[in-house]
């Protein structure tokens, strides 16, 4: 989907607010992220945001806007007060002629309007969805407060450290967050935004009467504790844990489906509560391995430093494809990756996209690299962030059987994708080390000429 056209709405106090709207269905307004919101950069430079918005737009009219002073809205007039936020929100909603809307916002970034508006204007809010995305396991708010003095001396360094503290030091998307912070804020505006998102929600909770869904990352202590506080104060709120919500990601497939199911489900009878969405916690996962062909020879030819430079570009391309297609990275192994997807369709789409990305990169690269990809589906054993079991081992063996630039999939994957428009070419039966019975493998055709 192409980037949606940017439109503008004027608030009663004369401020121009930038927004876009896509899709058809029940109106779903996504509140600004006061820390790093930018409606253009989110769409153009962050595949995780873009993929989430596109999926939401399949069953809703999705509206996203920048608050005053941020992003593409009128500059040099930042005001993060709840009163100004309400003016911004209503300017956009009224401009579109929407009487009632569902609101979606992040508990740690949307500010007080996320709770104050549904409480103060219940006639205009049909549903409230509060997202509490998981932070990386080492996250602690005191770390963010500790680096605030750096802001005025080293703004770019401050933004980069902030992104790493929130998302994790080894998370490539932390630099994307840092860039958005740097292009969205100045030090004074960032200080005001940070103060605006640090508020006690308890006084606002009791007034919320809209059907409320609170989503949080399961197994993430900080997210679970925050979500429980919110749910305890809102009458009838549904608290739903989202499994395998990667740290630092905006949404995943389960978040999208839960949100769409919630806003599109009618009550069983007039006045009855809206039931909570059913979250799929199936153990079945589609597992993807990647491996750089000839990595040992590459290291011998270029030396450690030269090979590492080439492999960093390989890591960037793979992590970009995973982010764009909702994949969860399990581990990076120097010259390869292990990841999983809740959907076989997304796994194969990701594999096709990353092979295309490597082909394009190789056209101009001094040292082109070819990557083999193996895909399998099963019920692996999850321990912490890692996966184990026969289905994982089989995926590694399938990858080893592939050639550079090739995608090999098991028959299980092929059957899951029957009728989905993918082209599979039979590669015969292969004896995989450690497995008694041979396994039938299929090549996924990904080039336009195939």
Q: Enter the pTM of the model.
A: 0.67
DSSP letter, residue 24: S
pLDDT band at residue 315 under the 50/70/90 scheme: confident
Residue 234 DSSP code? S
pLDDT in tens, 348-370: 999 999 999 989 988 887 878 88
Question: What phi and psi, each to the nearest 5 degrees, are found at residue 298?
Answer: -60, -45
Q: What is the pLDDT of the chain when averaged over all its residues? A: 87
User: Dihedral of CA 75/78/80/86: which sign?
Assistant: negative
Cβ-based neighbours of 216, under 8 Å, separated by 6 or more: 131, 132, 133, 134, 223, 224, 226, 227, 239, 240, 241, 242
- 202-220 tens-digit pLDDT: 999 999 999 999 998 776 6
pLDDT at 397: 94
- Residue range 368-395, pLDDT digits in tens: 888 999 999 887 877 766 888 888 999 9
Q: Which CATH architecture has domain 7-264?
A: 3-Layer(aba) Sandwich (3.40)
Which of the four pLDDT bands, split at 50, 70 and 90, describes residue 168? confident
Share of the chain above pLDDT 70, in %: 93
Looking from the CA of 398 toward its CB, the CA atoms found within 13 Å total 34
pLDDT at position 281 over 60: no
Superfamily for domain range 285-444: Nucleotide cyclase, GGDEF domain (3.30.70.1230)
Range 258-286 average pLDDT: 77
Domain(s) labelled CATH 3.30.70.1230 in the chain stretch across 285-444
Torsion sign across C-alpha atoms 61, 62, 68, 69: negative
Query: What is the model's pLDDT at position 265?
Result: 84
**pLDDT tops 70 at residue 282:** no
Backbone angles phi, psi at 441, to 5 degrees: -115, 155
- The model's confidence at residue 275, banded by pLDDT at 50, 70 and 90, is confident
What is residue 220's predicted lDDT score, i.e. its pLDDT?
A: 67
Better-predicted residue by pLDDT, 123 or 300: 123
More confident of the two residues 175 and 248: 175
- Which residues of the chain are in CATH 3.40.50.1820 domains? 7-264
Highest mean pLDDT among 28-32, 104-108, 237-241, 270-274: 28-32
Locus of tokens 């100045």: 186
pLDDT in the model for residue 246: 63
Give whole-number Cα distances, 49 to 173, 242, 272, 323, 405, in Å: 11, 17, 34, 9, 28
How far apart (Å, rounded) are the C-alpha atoms in residues 336 and 353? 16
Q: Round to whole Å and give the CA distance between 365 and 255.
A: 38
Neighbouring residues of 258: CB distance < 8 A, sequence distance ≥ 6: 213, 215, 240, 242, 277, 279
């Amino acid at each position: 989907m192409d980037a949606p056209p940017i439109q503008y709405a004027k608030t009663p106090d004369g401020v121009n607010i930038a927004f876009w709207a896509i899709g058809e269905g029940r109106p779903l307004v996504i509140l600004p992220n006061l820390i790093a919101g930018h409606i253009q950069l989110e769409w153009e430079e962050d595949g995780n945001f873009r993929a989430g918005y596109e999926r939401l737009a399949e069953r809703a009219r999705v509206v996203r806007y920048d608050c005053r002073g941020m992003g593409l809205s009128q500059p040099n007039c930042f005001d993060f007060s709840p009163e100004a936020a309400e003016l911004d929100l209503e300017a956009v909603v009224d401009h579109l002629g929407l009487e009632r809307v569902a609101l979606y916002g992040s508990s740690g970034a949307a500010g007080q309007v996320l709770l104050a508006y549904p409480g103060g204007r219940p006639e205009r809010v049909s549903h409230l969805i509060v997202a509490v995305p998981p932070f990386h396991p080492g996250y602690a708010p005191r770390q963010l407060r500790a680096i605030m003095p750096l802001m005025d001396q080293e703004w770019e360094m401050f933004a980069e450290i902030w992104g790493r503290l929130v998302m994790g030091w080894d998370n490539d998307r932390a630099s994307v967050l840092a860039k958005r912070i740097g292009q969205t804020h100045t030090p004074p505006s960032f200080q005001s935004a940070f103060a605006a998102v640090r508020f006690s929600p308890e006084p606002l909770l009791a007034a919320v009467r809209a059907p409320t869904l609170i989503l949080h990352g399961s197994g993430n202590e900080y997210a679970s504790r925050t979500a429980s506080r919110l749910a305890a104060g809102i009458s009838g709120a549904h608290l739903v844990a989202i499994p395998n919500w990667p740290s630092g990601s905006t949404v995943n497939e389960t978040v999208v489906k839960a949100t769409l199911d919630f806003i599109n489900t009618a009550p069983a009878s007039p006045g009855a509560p809206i039931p909570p969405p059913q979250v799929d916690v199936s153990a079945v996962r589609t597992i993807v391995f990647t491996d750089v062909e000839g990595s040992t020879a590459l290291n011998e030819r270029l030396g450690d430093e030269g090979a590492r430079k080439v492999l960093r570009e390989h890591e960037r391309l793979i992590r970009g494809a995973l982010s764009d297609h909702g994949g969860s990275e399990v581990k990076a192994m120097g010259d390869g990756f292990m990841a999983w997807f809740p959907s076989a369709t997304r796994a194969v789409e990701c594999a096709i996209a990353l092979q295309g990305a490597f082909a394009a990169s190789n056209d101009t690269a001094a040292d082109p690299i070819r990557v083999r990809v193996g895909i399998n589906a099963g019920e692996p054993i999850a321990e912490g962030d890692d996966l184990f079991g026969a289905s994982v081992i089989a995926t590694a063996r399938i990858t080893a059987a592939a050639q550079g630039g090739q995608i090999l999939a098991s028959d299980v994957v092929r059957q899951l994708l029957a009728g989905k428009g993918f082209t599979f070419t039979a590669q015969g039966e292969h004896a995989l080390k450690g497995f008694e019975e041979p396994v039938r493998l299929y090549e996924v055709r990904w080039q336009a000429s195939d």
